[in-house]
Amino acid sequence: MSLDQDQIKHIARLARIELSPGETGPTLDKLNGVFALIEQMQAVDTTGVEPMSHPQDVSQRLRQDAVSETDRHEAFQRIAPQTEAGLYLVPRVIE
């Protein structure tokens, strides 16, 4: 796959990126280089290769999921400027 100047301008407009006329050429070269690398990687025969989620077969040490702090919800609600039904009321910011 190869891009042209018009497609680069269209992509830049969609991404809301302003490209000067002098930046369009180098951007085109870089993106075409990325697509060439993708095509090269897709050409590799991967039959028989199992997909892996991580290059090393390691597992994380997990800790016990236990509550370590007391519930201070009511204390926080008491000092809040406005609450209702256990929720904090805040000013509307979107009209």
What pLDDT does residue 1 have?
Answer: 72
Domains of the chain by residue range: 5-42
Q: Is the pLDDT of residue 84 over 90?
A: yes
25-81 pLDDT, tens digit each = 999 999 999 999 999 999 999 999 888 887 787 788 888 889 999 999 999 999 999
Per CATH, domain 5-42 is 1.10.3470: no
| Residue of 34, 38, 37 lying closest to 11 (CA atoms) | 34
Per DSSP bridges, beta strands 87-88 and 83-84 are antiparallel
Identify the bridge partners of residue 87 per DSSP, sorted by sequence position: 84
Residues 83, 76 contacting (CB under 8 angstroms): no
Residue-level pLDDT at 95: 74
Encode burial over 55-69: b for 16+ CB neighbours within 10 A, e otherwise.
Answer: eeeeeeeeeeeeeee
Is the pTM of the predicted complex or chain greater than 0.85? Answer: no
